[in-house]
Amino acid sequence: MSSYLDMELLRFSTAGSVDDGKSTLIGRLLYDSKSIFEDQYEAIEQTSKKKGDEHVNLALLTDGLRSEREQGITIDVAYRYFATPKRKFIIADTPGHIQYTRNMVTGASTSNLSIILIDARKGIIEQTHRHTFIASLLGIPHVVFCINKMDLVDYSEETFEKIKKEVEAFASKLDVKDIHFIPISALKGDNVVNKSENMDWYKGSTLLYLLENIHIGSDHNHIDCRFPVQSVIRPHSDEFHDYRGYAGRIAGGVFKKGDKVIALPSGFSSKIKSIDTMDGELQEAYAPMSVSMTLEDEIDISRGDMIVRENNQPNVSQDVDVMICWLNDKPLQAGGKYAVKHTTNDARCIIKDVRYKIDINTLHRNEEDKNIGMNDIGRIAIRTTKPLYFDSYRRNRNTGSLIIIDEATHETVGAGMILT
Amino acid sequence: MQTYNLTHLKELESEAIYVIREVAAQFENPVLLFSGGKDSIVCAHLAKKAFYPAKLPFPLMHVDTGHNFPETIAFRDKFIKELGAELIVASVQESIDQGKVVEEKGFNASRNGLQTVTLLDGIEKHKFDAAMGGARRDEEKARAKERFFSHRDEFGQWDPKNQRPELWNIFNGFKNFGENFRVFPISNWTEMDVWQYILAEGIELPPLYFAHERECFVRDGVVMSTSKFIPQRDTEETKTMQVRFRTIGDMTCTGAVESDADTLEKIIEEVAATRTTERGTRSDDKRSEAAMEDRKRQGYF
Ligand SMILES: Nc1nc2c(ncn2[C@@H]2O[C@H](COP(=O)(O)OP(=O)(O)O)[C@@H](O)[C@H]2O)c(=O)[nH]1
């Protein structure tokens, strides 16, 4: 009971190309950690029998919508949940198809950790490069490479080490902070939840042990104080007649009562009078807490403004360079106008320049081909109609990310990571 | 070194409050759907926290099948009064009387499916542009792919193949005239999270959730409460059983489980040990493997 109230939350995503065993791995994690219900198990047992499968196909557990069932593939991000006494896990299950970079980016955007699957028989393939690159681009703090189907390569240490070396060589060129390698068999269960009896040579931890113990306390920025204001709370009641609280979710840093702060864009300064929640006042608040703040002085602050510490301010600019991942069939229009959402701020922007497009397999920067279409990633320069208050994405995922919206269809067409 | 880390319940709470505040800020006329079940009670509690010390800036709407457990309605009225919020009731009986829907017949007749029409009518009548609800992704496979902000076309339909990608915590509530959104603040919560949160926060629930004695009968392996709304077969014998409900919906399609769990602590123990999913007691999902997905496409919650 008390342990339950100490549990942490870890969000992770999975990537791998088709048939690398992603669904089987997730099914295995759920099954071996006893997160599968009887009726769910019975349903997949029946389906497996109907299909003439030899084993109960654990992959069916994560198989979602009907059209996908018919095609036998996963085509979107699906979320899965399980818990152990230590942590609750949210899995963003994303597909491995070439055309679905968009989904991996979506699933990875909120992850603390990414699991990238590699088929031990095939070793590194084009998709491995792509998945690793996306994980690094999205600033996922921890990346775990699971070398799967070890049972099909006689649990060979040599095979594992060879793949590990190749990945390390490749990943050293990328900005991945924390890398792990685990040899597994998702089908047989080796090193997923239970330690493998077939791989004495592997001295590391199982996947579940790693997921339960990896240090995530530093995944949020606790240095640069950023508080994007969502709305202003004005009760207009007798009891709280003059109450004016700024509601929002802390995007970075640790705010304390009495801190000297300034509000952007006005630049007016004040002190934090109180940090409130319905459960009472807090002495300090940090990301990702939702609170309401009151200030000593009455200054004009509304949604989209940002409260920051006086001595540590974000960049303020209308000209922003962004690494963009394009998510729509209709390509990016150079010179085109779009709506932008950044923290709680809304603006419009014009695409001033496409600097280059990245070949996500070779990481080559192509300055000739500037057509950014569905699933492409490239660097662009935008000018916004009003200043944004931002940090680089590397420094803070909350204040360094933005989305671009087509003003005609209202669809989210681009995911942007701010460079400068 | 001091660590700044939230517990999972605090992080889920903070996420939900953020989502609810986004709804209030991005939409002109939102509503919170309220069924009287534990998930919608938790949502209302979170909404209260989101705007404290101000009142909720939106009303609650109950889609009333007319086949509720009387306990649900009694609880609802008390809860709303304490919350100080406005309640709108959209009635399935009215939809039937207006000839918009036709009541099912037979032993397994249920008004559950008819709710969709009443819900969509209610949204249209009050010109709501966002309807928040307590659906969770862990409830069912089709729900696992829902976004927090789920866009619906002017017919209220959901297109699972053409959802807007949802990145980081930036929610896109842009829409065309006549379109609206469904929003699910507790998307990332599991049944266990909800129970733990209810205990941690001391949230009051309808008595139906706790083990009590009740006149029941068994149909297709599911324990049902006797009710004037459900015709019983001669072979379906009524007996007094010690039961509780894991979900609270329409009386005609909500099954009970035999249980001694009469406190939150015992319920949590029971949930931890239980081997069937909570929707397993709802006969509406059993009709076909893809039943939920079909209903969602048409606009069901
Ligand atoms: N021998 C062996 N087969 C595996 C393993 N993991 C997955 N498979 C098989 O590989 C195939 C593809 O797996 P699946 O999980 O559907 O792959 P996905 O497309 O990545 O989700 C299935 O036939 C699995 O049974 C493994 O560790 N060993």
Q: What is the pLDDT of residues A6-36, one digit of tens each?
A: 789 999 999 888 888 888 899 889 888 877 7
From the centroid of its chain, how far is CA A63? 21
Mean pLDDT over A124-134 rounds to 88
Place of tokens 């087509």: A406
* 3-state class (DSSP) for residue B92: helix
Residue B294 has pLDDT above 60, yes or no: no
Nearest alpha-carbon partner for A293 in A344, A227, A237: A227
| Interface size between A and B, measured as CB pairs under 8 A | 186
| Model pTM above 0.95 | no
CB contact at 8 A, A350 and A383: yes
Q: Is the dihedral of CA A100, A105, A110, A112 positive or negative?
A: positive
Of the candidate ranges A166-175, A253-262, A386-395, the one whose mean pLDDT is the lowest: A166-175
For the CA of A188, the closest atom of ligand 1 is 27
Q: Which amino acid is at A194?
A: N
Cα–Cα distance measured from residue A37 to residue B110, given in angstroms and rounded to the nearest whole number: 26
Cα–Cα distance measured from residue A88 to residue A6, given in angstroms and rounded to the nearest whole number: 11
- What's the topology of domain A2-219? Rossmann fold (3.40.50)
**Which is the CATH superfamily of the domain at A226-309?**
Translation factors (2.40.30.10)
Residue B106 near chain A (CB below 8 Å): no
Kindly give the pairing relationship between strand A337-342 and strand A401-405.
Answer: antiparallel
From chain A, pick out residues whose CB is under 8 angstroms from the CB of B24.
Answer: 231
Looking at the complex, report in whole angstroms how far the Cα of residue A249 sits from the nearest Cα belonging to chain B: 6
Residue ranges matching CATH 3.40.50.620 in chain B: 8-193+289-298
pLDDT > 70: what percent of chain B?
82
* Identical fold, A226-309 and A315-419: yes
CATH of the domain spanning B8-193+289-298: 3.40.50.620
Instruction: Tell me which DSSP letter residue A331 carries.
Output: P
Alpha carbons within 13 angstroms on the beta-carbon side of residue B99 total 0
Is A63 or A333 the better-scoring residue by pLDDT? Answer: A333
* 3-state class (DSSP) for residue A140: coil
Roughly how many angstroms between the first and final C-alpha of chain A, as a whole number? Answer: 46
The string of pLDDT tens digits covering residues A259-277 is: 999 999 999 999 999 999 9
Residue A46 near chain B (CB below 8 Å): no
CB contact at 8 A, A353 and A372: no
From the centroid of its chain, how far is CA B247? 8
- What's the topology of domain A315-419? Elongation Factor Tu (Ef-tu); domain 3 (2.40.30)
Looking at the complex, report in whole angstroms how far the Cα of residue B87 sits from the nearest Cα belonging to chain A: 20
From chain A, pick out residues whose CB is under 8 angstroms from the CB of B165.
Answer: 102-103, 105-106, 327, 412, 415
- B277/A88 touch (CB, cutoff 8 Å), yes or no: no
Q: What is the ipTM of this complex?
A: 0.92
Residues 6+ apart with CB under 8 A from A257: A272, A273, A274, A275, A281, A282, A283, A284
Write down how long chain A is.
Answer: 420
